[in-house]
Amino acid sequence: MQRRSKGVTWRLLWRSLLAGTLILCAFASLYYEAVFGQFGKANFGNTGSLRANVGNQQKLTASPGHMQPAAAARKVPCDRGIAAALREEYCCQGIFKCKDALRKVIPCAQVNDDYCDCGNGNDEPGTSACSARGARFACAGGPQNISTAFVDDGFQDCADGSDEA
């Protein structure tokens, strides 16, 4: 009879340990999403999630439904980094349609706001926010096209210097 109660005890201990691990994983997942902001719901339209640049420790500002780095308060012109043929599309008044598989729709105010809202980063051609996603910057003075990783890095990569604000 004692053996049976030990088996039940081990089973209960195992279930408790498993439940605790699952709860810990859930909290870790929520924390990870809050810190990095690019995962989970953030990629699918939840514009109210916390956004942080971990390596840069930027302050955050919030507007209804959209949080952004305080540095974005110096609004980048909507046509910065845009090829001339696409300027009308990027300098819109209502909504902007992402050019990725999800076809996400965002307010035009979120274009060039220093935060990747679109999965492929095409909403940030004038900032370096989406450089890891292969986003490109079109130099203002000609056909030159550079990675957004080189935008505002302190070095003039475009012949006309349009990549440095």
User: Residues 98-135: pLDDT tens digits?
Assistant: 988 888 999 988 888 888 898 888 888 888 888 877 78
Its pTM stands at 0.50
Residue 76 per-residue DSSP state: P
Mean pLDDT over residues 25-43, rounded?
A: 55
- Can you give the pLDDT at residue 156? 92
Whether the CB-CB separation of 136 and 148 falls below 8 Å is answered with yes
Nearest-CA neighbor of 68 among 112, 128, 131? Answer: 112
Residue 61 banded pLDDT, cuts 50, 70, 90:
very low
Domain boundaries in the chain? 2-36, 75-150
